Amino acid sequence: MAREDKQAFKQAGSYVRRKINQLCSSQNNSAVKAALAKLRRGIGKIPGSMPELWDITMKDLPEELTGKDETPSYGEWAVHTALTLFALHQQGKDLKSQCMNKEGMTLGIAVRSLIKSDEDENRIKRRFDAAATSESMEEISHHLRGLIQLMKAENITLDYPKLTEDLYRFQFPEARDSVRLKWGRDFFRLHTNLINNS
């Protein structure tokens, strides 16, 4: 069984930050729109299975994150999943004036921001629980897609480099519970702060 590399998850997050920054700073709007459209088509697909995404999800990927056999590496899964979900989140929004990537907006905080009522809480928490208890990258990608669509509708941002790090670590059974713990703490920390400040 693979052991978690303490530096590799940071490299995965840095790679996604760099790719999003490249998209945001590009002056070629049509190329950016085309890249985001391609990425959206990659949601739920296996990393590497769509050659048109290779230059976005694999070009300049650090050696430590690149797979060595016929299956995608943990790094390839984390990067592919985060970038395709970012493209979904960004759909219909201007990348320069309304980038949906925001540092510090962790998954737990972003999901908590969706809740406006007690009724929302049960519905959203069920969806979040389904994502957090996923057993595979395909499964968590499916559940995150639904949450991202809700965030998109409410203009709630998300820290995609941090999500990448979480997704990388989530693939290691020994790290999965610590990722879940962080998500739960962030989810309820915001709620507690809102109650204390009201």
pLDDT of 97-148, one tens digit each?
999 999 999 999 999 999 998 889 999 999 999 999 999 999 999 999 999 9
Residue closest to 48 by CA, chosen among 22, 23, 66: 66
- Residue 150 near residue 111, CB atoms below 8 Å: no
Question: pLDDT by residue (tens digit) across 35-68?
Answer: 999 999 999 999 999 999 999 999 999 999 999 9
Helix (H, G, I), strand (E, B) or coil at 111: helix
For residue 197, is pLDDT > 80?
no
- Burial of residue 40 (CB within 10 Å: 0-12, 13-18, 19+) is middle
What pLDDT does residue 196 have? 44
CA atoms of 109 and 132, how far apart (whole Å): 14
Comparing C-alpha atoms, which of 84, 112, 113 is closest to residue 184?
A: 112
Tell me the C-alpha distance between 113 and 49, whole Å: 34
Percent of the chain with pLDDT strictly greater than 70: 93
DSSP string, 78-90: HHHHHHHHHHHHH
As given in the structure block, the two tokens for residue 166 are: 């979480």
3-class SS of residue 106: coil
Residue 190's pLDDT is 57
Distance CA 157, CA 148 (A): 9
At residue 7, the pLDDT reads 86
What residues does 101 pair with on adjacent strands?
A: 158
pTM of structure: 0.92
For residues 41 and 39, give the distance between their C-alpha atoms in angstroms, rounded to a whole number: 5
Q: How much is the average pLDDT of 72-82?
A: 97
Residue 15: C-alpha distances to residues 66, 114, 121 (Å): 12, 28, 34
